[in-house]
C-alpha cells in the first residue's frame, strides 16, 4: 500500500488568517522566514491575499479572504487563525486522489491542472479532521514561484533566518472518541502506520489527560500525531483547544533545527514567547537523560527540554500559542538520534500548558 501511495515530503502548510499581511510579517520577523511569493489585488487576484514564506525545506502560505463571503474569510472567522491545508508533495496528484477516495476519503478538490509560462502544477485534495484539507501537489513540471497566479518577491539581501530546516511533525487534536477513526483513515486511505501510541497513563497530570497515536507514512517522512482528550478532574488542554478552535484541527507544528541553541536564541531575540518549565527540571537532568553534548546551564537559560530513547536524545521547546485563541503553537526540535516525541517531557510540558490555561481562566 505504501508503494501505491508514494509521498515525497511536506509541500507546504497553508494558514487561513484574519490579516495575511501581518501574519507574513510575524513569520518573517519572529521566525526568520523569507517571503518568496505573493498573490493579491496587485497581481490581479480579486478575492484572496496570500504570502508564501520559506526557510530551509519549510514552506508556509498565509492567506486572507478579501471579502466576508469568501470561504477563507469565513473559515478564519470560525476557527481563528489556523492551519487549513496540509499539503504533501507526491509524484502524481491525480493518482493519489483516486487511491485515497477509492478507499473512502472524502473528496474536496478533484485533480486540477493550472499553468503559466513556468509550466504545469497539478493538485487535488481530500477532507481531513475538522475543516482541514489534505492536499496532494505535484510540482515536478512547474518551475515558477509557488503556483500560477503568484508573483515572485524581490528578496532583501540582509534577511536573517533562524536555522529552521524542515517540518518534523504536525499534530492534530480531535474530539473525544475520534482518534481511532482518524488512525484507521490514515491507515486505510494512504497506508500509514502507527509509529507509537501513548495512553492516558503516559500523558496525564493531576488535572487532565490525553491519548495520542503517531501516524507516519512508509518512509517515516510524514509524521502526523493525533490527540484526543481523556477524562480528568478539570478541562484538558485538548478540550480547551476544541472549544476555541470550534472543533478539531492542527494543534502544533514541530520545526526541526540542527542547532537548537542558536535557533531558540534567534526566536527569543525576535520576541517569540515560549512555555516556561520550572528550574527544578534541570536539577537532575543528566542523571535522567544521560550525557548530552550541550551545557545544561545553556539549556536551562533558554528553557530547552531534553529526552532520550533507545536511538539517542532529542532537544525540544514549545512556544506559547501564536494567536489570540489558545489553539495553535509551535515546537522547535533537534533530533540527536532520537526518533520519539519527548515522552519524558510530557508531564513537565503539560503542567506548563495547564499553568497557562489557569491564567486564561480555562482550567
Ligand atoms: Fe510535538
Cα 203 to middle of ligand 1, angstroms:
13
E strands, the chain, are 9-16, 34-39, 48-55, 58-65, 82-89, 107-116, 119-127, 133-138, 151-152, 164-173, 193-198, 209-216, 223-230, 249-257, 305-309, 312-318, 329-336
Cβ(318)–Cβ(276) below 8 Å = no
Question: Does residue 227 share a domain with residue 115?
Answer: no
DSSP-derived secondary structure letter, 104: T
Question: Domain with 47 in it: what CATH number?
Answer: 3.10.180.10
DSSP reduced 3-state for 59: strand
User: Contact, 227 vs 172, CB < 8 A?
Assistant: yes
- What pLDDT does residue 297 have? 93
CA–centroid distance, 332 to ligand 1, in Å, is: 8
Measured in Å, residue 318 CA sits from the centre of ligand 1 at: 8
* Ligand 1 centroid distance, CA of 81 (Å): 20
pLDDT tens digit string along 121-154?
A: 999 999 999 999 999 999 999 999 999 999 999 7
Whole-number Å distance, alpha carbon 94 to ligand 1 midpoint, is 31
The Å distance, Cα 150 to ligand 1 centre, comes to 32
What CA–CA distance (Å, rounded) separates 77 from 71? 10
- How many A from CA of 162 to the centre of ligand 1? 19
Q: Are residues 213 and 327 in the same domain?
A: yes
CB burial class (10 A; 0-12, 13-18, 19+) of residue 231? exposed
Distance 213 CA to ligand 1 centre (A): 12
Cα-to-centroid distance, 349 and ligand 1 (Å) = 11
Helix count and strand count (H, E) for the chain = 9, 17
- Expressed in angstroms and rounded, the spacing between residue 225 Cα and the centre of ligand 1 is 8
Q: How far apart are CA 96 and CA 249, in angstroms?
A: 22
In a domain, 1, yes or no: no
Q: Could you tell me the distance, in angstroms and rounded to a whole number, from the CA of residue 221 to the centre of ligand 1? A: 15
Would you state the pLDDT for residue 50? Answer: 98
Q: 112 lies in a domain?
A: yes
Residues 213 and 298 in one domain: yes
Same domain, yes or no: 169 and 306? yes
C-alpha cell at 145: 514561484
* Tens of each residue's pLDDT in the chain, 363 residues: 557 799 999 999 999 999 999 999 999 999 999 999 999 999 999 999 999 999 999 999 999 999 999 999 999 999 999 999 999 999 999 999 999 999 999 999 999 999 999 999 999 999 999 999 999 999 999 999 999 999 999 776 667 899 999 999 999 999 999 999 999 999 999 999 999 998 877 777 888 788 999 999 999 999 999 999 987 777 888 999 999 999 999 999 999 999 999 999 999 999 999 998 888 899 888 888 998 988 999 999 999 999 999 999 999 999 999 999 999 999 999 999 999 998 888 888 888 888 899 999 998
| Pair (131, 174) in one structural domain | no
Residue with cell 531534553: 306
Report pLDDT for 1.
54
Span from the CA of 253 to the centroid of ligand 1 (angstroms): 7
Give dist(CA 328, CA 200) in Å, integer.
Answer: 22
CA distance 183 to 127: 14
Which range of residues forms the domain containing residue 138? 9-152
Residue 173 CA to ligand 1 center (angstroms) comes to: 12
CA of 217 to the centre of ligand 1 (A): 17
| Burial of residue 149 (number of CB atoms within 10 Å: 0-12, 13-18, 19+) | middle
CA of 310 to the centre of ligand 1 (A): 18
* CA 228 to ligand 1 center in whole angstroms: 14
Give the per-residue pLDDT at 31: 97
Mark whether 173 and 143 lie in a shared domain: no
Same domain (yes/no): 269, 327: yes
Burial of 154 (0-12, 13-18, 19+ CB in 10 A): exposed
Q: What is the C-alpha separation between 227 and 232, in angstroms, rounded?
A: 15
Long-range contacts of 299-302 (CB under 8 A, 24+ apart): 299/261, 302/261, 302/264, 302/265, 302/268
- For residue 284, give every residue at least 6 positions away whose Cβ sits within 8 Å of its Cβ, in sequence order, or none: none
Cα-to-centroid distance, 330 and ligand 1 (Å): 8
Q: To which residue does cell 491519548 refer?
A: 211
Cell numbers for 183, please give them: 488512525
What is the per-residue pLDDT across 324-346, written as a single tens digit (0 to 9) for each?
A: 999 999 999 999 999 999 888 88
Same domain, yes or no: 14 and 117: yes
Do 72 and 196 sit in the same domain of this protein?
Answer: no
Do 104 and 174 reside in the same domain of the chain? Answer: no
Q: How far is the CA of 273 from the centre of ligand 1 (A)?
A: 17
- For the chain, the domain total comes to 2
DSSP, residue by residue, 117-147: TTEEEEEEEEE-STT-EEEEEE-TTB-SSSS
CA torsion angle 185 186 192 195 (round to 10): -90
Cell reading at 2: 505504501
Q: How far is the CA of 170 from the centre of ligand 1 (A)?
A: 7
Residue 69 lies in a domain: yes
Sheet holding 329-336, edge to edge: 193-198, 209-216, 223-230, 164-173, 249-257, 329-336, 312-318, 305-309
Q: What is the pLDDT of residue 150?
A: 97
Q: Are residues 66 and 189 in the same domain?
A: no
Q: Are residues 194 and 106 in the same domain?
A: no
As residues whose CB is below 5 A from the ion ligand 1, the structure lists: 254, 331
Amino acid at each position: 500500500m505504501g508503494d501505491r501511495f508514494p509521498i515525497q515530503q511536506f509541500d507546504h502548510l497553508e494558514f487561513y488568517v484574519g490579516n495575511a499581511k501581518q501574519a507574513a510579517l510575524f513569520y518573517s520577523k519572529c521566525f526568520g522566514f523569507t517571503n518568496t511569493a505573493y498573490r493579491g489585488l496587485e497581481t490581479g487576484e480579486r478575492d484572496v491575499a496570500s504570502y508564501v514564506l520559506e526557510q530551509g525545506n519549510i514552506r508556509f502560505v498565509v492567506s486572507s479572504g478579501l471579502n466576508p463571503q469568501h470561504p477563507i474569510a469565513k473559515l478564519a472567522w470560525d476557527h481563528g487563525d489556523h492551519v487549513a491545508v496540509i499539503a504533501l508533495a507526491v509524484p502524481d496528484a491525480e493518482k493519489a486522489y483516486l487511491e485515497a477516495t477509492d478507499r473512502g476519503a472524502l473528496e474536496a478538490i478533484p485533480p486540477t491542472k493550472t499553468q503559466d509560462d513556468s509550466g504545469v502544477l497539478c493538485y487535488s485534495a481530500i477532507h481531513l479532521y475538522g475543516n482541514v484539507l489534505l492536499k496532494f501537489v505535484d510540482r515536478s513540471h512547474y518551475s515558477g514561484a509557488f503556483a500560477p497566479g503568484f508573483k515572485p518577491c524581490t528578496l532583501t539581501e540582509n534577511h536573517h533566518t533562524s536555522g529552521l530546516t524542515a517540518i518534523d511533525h504536525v499534530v492534530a487534536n480531535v474530539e473525544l472518541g475520534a482518534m481511532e477513526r482518524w488512525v484507521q483513515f490514515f491507515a486505510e486511505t494512504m497506508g500509514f502506520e502507527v509509529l507509537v501510541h501513548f495512553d492516558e497513563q503516559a500523558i496525564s497530570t493531576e488535572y487532565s489527560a490525553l491519548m495520542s497515536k503517531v501516524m507516519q507514512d512508509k518512509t517515516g517522512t510524514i509524521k502526523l500525531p493525533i490527540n484526543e482528550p481523556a477524562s480528568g478532574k478539570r478541562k484538558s488542554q485538548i478540550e480547551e483547544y476544541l472549544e476555541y478552535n470550534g472543533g478539531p484541527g492542527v494543534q502544533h507544528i514541530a520545526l526541526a533545527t540542527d542547532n537548537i541553541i542558536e535557533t531558540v536564541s534567534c526566536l527569543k531575540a525576535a520576541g517569540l514567547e515560549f512555555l516556561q518549565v520550572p528550574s527544578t527540571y534541570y536539577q537532575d537532568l543528566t542523571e535522567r537523560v544521560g550525557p548530552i553534548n550541550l551545557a545544561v546551564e545553556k539549556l536551562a537559560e533558554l528553557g530547552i527540554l531534553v529526552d532520550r530513547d533507545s536511538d539517542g536524545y532529542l532537544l525540544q521547546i514549545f512556544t506559547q500559542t501564536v494567536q489570540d485563541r489558545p489553539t495553535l503553537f509551535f515546537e522547535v526540535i533537534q533530533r540527536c538520534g532520537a526518533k520519539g516525541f519527548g515522552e519524558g517531557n510530557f508531564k513537565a510540558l503539560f503542567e506548563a500548558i495547564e499553568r497557562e490555561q489557569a491564567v486564561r481562566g480555562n482550567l
